[in-house]
Chain A
Amino acid sequence: MRNGLSLNLLFGVLMAGAAAGLLAGLYSGLLLLGLSLPQPLDIGGAVHGPLMINGFLAALISLERAAALELRWTYAAPIGFVLSTIFLISGNLFWFGMFLMTGSLLLVIILAYLLKLHPSTYHFIMLMGVLALLAGNFGFVRGWPVSELAGWWIAFPVLTIFGERLELNRIMRPPEKAQWLFTGLVIVWLVSLSLLPVDRDAFWVISSGILILLSLWLLKYDIARRTIRTSEWPRFSALGMLTAYVWIIIAALFGMWYGLPYAGPVYDAILHIFFVGFVFSMIFAHAAIIIPALTGLTVTYSVYFYLPYLLLNGFLALRIIGDLMWIPELRAIGAYGNVLAILLFLGGILFQVVRSAGFPQKMR
């Protein structure tokens, strides 16, 4: 049980590790755009994807699971991801690979344990998500190009979030048939992703079509449709979630039109619609849950949070236009704007948490 001071300290260190993974990931993204820095500060742009997926997302999600279960062994998963970040940045690829695979495997075990503890379709979908991460990371460690394993890395946050939404949306009482339809579509989506090496264009088009159906399902049954009519955090969260579903539909429409190229502006646009439009909209939307879950501290709502929300979406739109019209300057402005939006959001969260901690008050 997480009672001891040492475990609290470990928890804090792991949170800082995930935050460092995010900052390093954003920084390496700017290096990819041509940011020029002295050698000691140059960690290389190639680490951008793995840092954002593993150093930040996987570390954060595994820490969330550990916080929920409060079992000592579950902390080994975020430890693995945080250590892999350190070794990736320092250029020690052997130990990076070892800790990355350890963290990924442990996250699979955590979700399998949750499925055993509480057999349900949503835990099954989340398990599929972490298996996708394991597959993607295995490919990355083996040296496969990122473009070959992008589908698995996309599937990790998408299925984790879809599973969480399915769990919460039981409150909307979707019909049992609809729940089975959702699970069936998830399985077909994963099968189509696994067949990408057979015919990349055809199966990406199929998987994109299925993603549209999944997103429409969520738009129909997500509680966000109701909570958008409330106020403060529930309303903000709902807006973020509905925005995330719209972005995933846009990504899927692009996928149906263009397929998934191996590189280039369309590839860049599709990946960032998923990882910025969908994932970060969802992270913004879940901030009022993630922060209390991880820190035990309340984030007092402020209308300020709409500013980074608007910047995130506005600059992402600019980035996509820059990609599609091949205007590198516009793409760069969009990317810098996205980094700014994320930092402004994190800064706002930090400010509110410190303020809440200093002046205890009710949650709302």
Chain B
Amino acid sequence: MMSGAEEIRRTVVARLRDIIDPEIGINIVDLGLIYAIRVEDGDLEVQYATTTPGCPLRRFIEQQIKVAVQQLPGITRSEVLFVTSPSWQVEMVAGHVSLFRSQAR
């Protein structure tokens, strides 16, 4: 049976999968841009990165994440943090993303 925190975590992941990179058409979870989702005592923290620190979409992605984690049952405070370390690597893309699989070397 799932704990409350695990259930919230799964809900957050499901909501974040709705945020699609507009150019590639892949959601930010499968792109490997979500580094951590921490749930503790009604607090939620989402850590995310962009493919590069100079990515112009950084602000947009942050806004979308903030909207996605609004009104979660059991969460009283949420925080969205941009992290630059470790830097995003292409290996962080989920293995099931078939669009690029045939290019893998």
Contacts and interface: CB of A to CB of B under 8 A. Distances in A.
Interface of A: 2, 64-65, 67-70, 114, 117-118, 120, 122-123, 126, 167-168, 170-173, 175, 223, 226-227, 230-234, 237, 286, 288-290, 292-294, 296, 298, 362-364
Contacts of B56: 64-65, 67-68, 289-290, 293-294
Q: Which of A2, A65, A364 has the most CB of B within 10 A?
A: A364
Nearest to A123: B54
B31 to A, nearest CB: 8
B5 interface: no
Interface string B61-102: 001100000000000000000001001001001000001100
Nearest to A126: B54
B52 A234 contact: no
Interface residues of B, number: 29
Contacts, number: 103
B58 to A, nearest CB: 5
Contact of B105 (A126, A168, A175, A294): A175
B13 interface: no
B26 to A, nearest CB: 9
B55 interface: yes
In terms of DSSP, what is the predominant structure of the interface of chain A? helix
Contacts of A289: 22-23, 56-57
B57 to A, nearest CB: 5
B19 interface: yes
A171 B20 CA distance: 16
A171 B93 contact: yes
Given A68-B58, A227-B99, A170 B90 contact: yes
Contacts of B20: 363-364
Contacts of A288: 22-23
Contacts of B25: 227, 230-234, 364
Nearest to A69: B54
A173 B105 contact: yes
10 contacts: A65-B56, A68-B53, A171-B24, A175-B105, A226-B99, A227-B99, A286-B23, A288-B22, A289-B56, A363-B22
A319 B56 CA distance: 33
Given A123-B54, A171-B51, A286-B23, 13 more contacts: A2-B59, A65-B56, A68-B56, A117-B53, A117-B84, A167-B52, A168-B23, A168-B51, A173-B100, A223-B24, A230-B99, A296-B60, A363-B22
